[in-house]
C-alpha cells in the first residue's frame, strides 16, 4: 500500500508526546513490511521541510494551526497517490476525507477526547471552535469511515461525549522499553513524573504533595522528566527534593524511571498514558487518578493505584508507599509484556487492508 500517516507533530518536534510515538512506531513498521509511507506533519523550529528516516518520507509544513490547511492542500495535489490515509486526531482531526477520492481508505485515530481541555489551553472563543470541530464536524466527516481508539475509555468518550456513530476499533499502544530484575529501591523513596509539562497534566498537584510527603520521609525525592510550556512556571516554584530534568535521551530517562519506587501521574485524563506502560515495563508501578485512559493503563492493586478524583495526592502516594512490595514489580512487567508495537502495527495493517482484526480487541 501507499500510506500517508498524517499527525500534528513528528517524534523529533520539541512538543512531541505519546501521540507522536504511536504514529511513528506504526509508520516505521508499515515501511519495514514493504509499504510506501509518507509521514505528513507540522514543521517545528529548526526542522527541515523534507527528510527520510528508516525509509519513511517525512513532509513537514505549517505550524500549530496552519498545518491543517497546509496538509489538506498538500493532499489535494496528491489526492490519487495514496491508497490509505491514517488521519490522527490531536484535539481535532485533519478532515482528510474532504480532499480525497472516495476510494481512498481513511482511518481516523483518536487518542482521547479533548473537550474538557480546550478551556484549559485556549481562550473561550477558540475553545468553542475546538468543541465544534471535535464534535459535530468530526462526527459528520467520519460517520462512514473506520476509526481507531487506543483504549476503552476513549471509545466511551467518543460515543457519549462526541456522539460518534461510525465503527471504532481499539488498537492499543505498544512499549519499547524493558529490563530484568527489580527496580533499585534503596534508601529513601524516589518518585518520578514523566510527561509533557502542560496544564492538564496537573504537575502542580504533585509539587504541592511533596512537602507533606517529606514530613514522613525527609529524604524523599522526585524527578520530573519532560518539557513544555509550563516548564518555566513550574521551575519557579519547585519545593525541596524535586529536580526537573527537562528532555532526556531515552537511555537516561529509562535509568531514572527504573530507579524510582513509584511513578506519579496527576493528569486530568489521557488517551492511554504511554508513560504508565513504559514505567511498568521497567517494573515501576504508577499512582494516578481514576480518569479516562489512566484507568485502562493502570490495573488497580496490581500494577499501581487509582485514586478517586479529588483525593489528596499526598495521602494517596503515602498509602501506595506503605503498600508497595516487590510483587508489584513482577505484575507490572507481566502486564507491559502483553503490549507490543509490532502487534499494534499488525492489527492496524489488517484494519487498513479491510481484513478482520484479532479477536478480543474489537470495540468494548
Query: Based on the domain organization, do 226 and 332 belong to the same domain?
Result: yes
Per-residue 3-state assignment (H helix, E strand, C coil) for 77-103:
HCCCCCCEEEEEEECECCCHHHCCCCC
DSSP β-ladder status, 190-194 and 221-225:
parallel
CA max distance for the chain: 64
What SS3 state is found at 29?
helix
CA distance linking residue 251 with residue 238, whole number of Å: 25
122 and 242 fall within a common domain: no
The CB density around residue 21, as the number of other CB atoms within 10 Å, is 17
Pick the closest to residue 315 from 237, 209, 214, 234 (CA basis): 209
Sheet with 50-53, side-by-side order of all strands: 50-53, 56-60, 36-41, 2-6, 84-89, 105-110, 146-149, 168-170
Q: Which residues contact 315 (CB under 8 A, 6 or more apart)?
A: none
Half-sphere exposure of 301 (CA within 13 A, CB side): 0
How many folded domains does the chain comprise?
A: 2
180 located within any domain:
no
Same domain as 154, residue 18? yes
Q: Do residue 313 and residue 197 come from a single domain?
A: yes
By percentage, how much of the chain surpasses pLDDT 90?
82
Domain assignment of residue 361, yes or no:
no
Name the residue range of residue 292's domain.
190-336
SS3 51: strand
Collapse the DSSP code of 355 into the 3-class scheme (helix H, G, I; strand E, B; otherwise coil) and give the result.
Answer: coil
Is residue 363 in some structural domain? no
Look up residue 300 and give its DSSP letter.
B
Residue 250 and residue 271 in contact, taking contact as beta carbons nearer than 8 Å: no
224 and 106 share a domain?
no
Q: Is 100 inside a domain boundary?
A: yes
Beta-bridged to residue 59, according to DSSP, are 40, 50
185 occurs within a structural domain: no
Q: Is residue 179 part of a domain?
A: no
Residue 290 sits in a domain whose CATH number is 3.40.50.2000
Report yes or no on 182 lying in a domain.
no
Q: What is the pLDDT of residue 363?
A: 42
Q: For residue 207, is it within any domain?
A: yes
Q: What is the pLDDT of residue 358?
A: 64
Same domain, 230 and 164: no
Query: Per residue in 92-119, pLDDT tens?
Result: 999 999 999 999 999 999 998 987 777 7
Determine which helix (DSSP H) or strand (DSSP E) holds 146, and give its type and residue range.
strand 146-149
Residues of the chain falling short of pLDDT 50? 360-364
Say whether both 221 and 332 belong to one domain: yes
DSSP 180: S
For the segment 326-357, what is each residue's pLDDT rounded down to a tens digit? Answer: 899 999 999 999 999 999 999 999 999 988 77
With CA atoms as reference, report the closest residue to 116 among 135, 126, 131, 137: 131
Shared domain for 204 and 156, answered yes or no, is: no
Dihedral sign from CA coordinates of 111, 115, 121, 123: positive
The reply to whether 331 and 346 lie within a common domain is: no
- The alpha carbon of 324 is separated from its chain's Cα centroid by a whole number of angstroms, namely 26
User: Does 139 lie in the same domain as 12?
Assistant: yes
Same domain, 346 and 322: no
What pLDDT score does 185 carry? 66
* Residue from 149, 169, 1, 141 nearest 84 by CA: 1
Residues 82 and 153 in one domain: yes
Measured distance CA(120)–CA(60) in Å, rounded: 28
Amino acid at each position: 500500500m501507499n500510506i500517508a500517516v498524517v499527525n500534528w507533530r513528528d517524534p523529533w518536534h520539541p512538543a512531541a508526546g505519546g501521540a507522536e510515538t504511536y504514529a511513528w512506531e506504526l509508520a516505521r513498521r508499515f515501511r519495514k513490511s514493504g509499504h510506501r509511507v509518507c509521514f505528513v506533519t507540522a514543521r517545528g523550529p529548526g526542522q527541515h521541510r523534507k527528510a527520510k528516516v528508516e525509509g519513511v518520507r517525512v513532509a513537514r509544513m505549517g505550524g500549530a494551526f496552519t498545518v491543517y490547511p497546509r496538509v489538506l492542500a498538500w493532499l489535494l495535489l496528491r489526492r490519487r497517490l495514496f491508497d490509505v490515509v491514517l488521519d490522527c486526531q490531536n484535539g481535532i482531526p485533519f478532515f482528510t476525507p474532504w480532499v480525497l477520492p472516495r476510494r481512498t481508505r481513511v482511518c481516523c485515530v483518536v487518542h482521547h477526547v479533548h473537550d474538557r481541555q480546550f478551556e484549559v489551553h485556549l481562550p473561550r472563543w477558540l475553545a468553542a471552535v475546538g468543541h465544534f470541530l471535535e464534535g459535530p464536524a468530526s462526527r459528520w466527516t467520519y460517520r462512514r469511515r473506520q476509526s481507531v481508539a487506543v483504549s476503552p475509555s476513549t471509545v466511551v468518550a467518543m460515543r457519549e461525549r462526541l456522539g460518534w456513530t461510525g465503527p471504532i476499533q481499539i488498537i492499543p499502544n505498544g512499549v519499547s522499553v524493558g529490563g530484568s530484575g527489580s527496580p533499585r529501591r534503596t534508601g529513601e523513596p524516589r518518585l518520578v513524573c514523566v510527561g509533557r509539562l502542560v496544564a492538564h497534566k496537573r504537575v502542580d498537584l504533585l509539587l504541592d504533595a511533596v512537602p507533606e510527603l517529606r514530613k514522613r520521609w525527609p529524604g524523599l525525592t522526585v524527578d520530573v522528566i519532560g518539557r513544555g510550556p509550563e516548564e518555566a512556571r513550574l521551575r519557579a516554584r519547585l519545593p525541596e527534593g524535586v529536580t526537573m530534568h527537562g528532555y532526556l535521551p531515552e537511555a537516561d530517562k529509562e535509568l531514572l524511571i527504573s530507579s524510582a519506587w513509584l511513578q506519579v501521574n496527576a493528569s486530568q485524563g489521557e488517551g492511554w498514558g504511554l508513560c504508565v506502560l513504559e514505567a511498568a515495563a521497567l517494573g515501576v508501578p504508577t499512582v494516578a487518578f481514576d480518569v479516562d485512559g489512566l484507568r485502562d493503563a493502570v490495573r488497580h492493586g496490581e500494577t499501581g493505584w487509582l485514586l478517586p478524583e479529588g483525593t489528596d495526592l499526598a495521602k494517596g502516594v503515602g498509602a501506595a508507599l506503605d503498600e508497595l512490595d516487590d510483587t508489584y514489580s513482577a505484575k507490572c512487567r507481566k502486564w507491559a509484556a502483553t503490549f507490543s508495537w509490532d502487534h499494534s502495527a499488525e492489527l492496524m495493517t489488517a484494519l487498513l487492508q479491510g481484513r478482520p482484526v484479532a479477536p478480543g480487541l474489537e470495540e468494548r
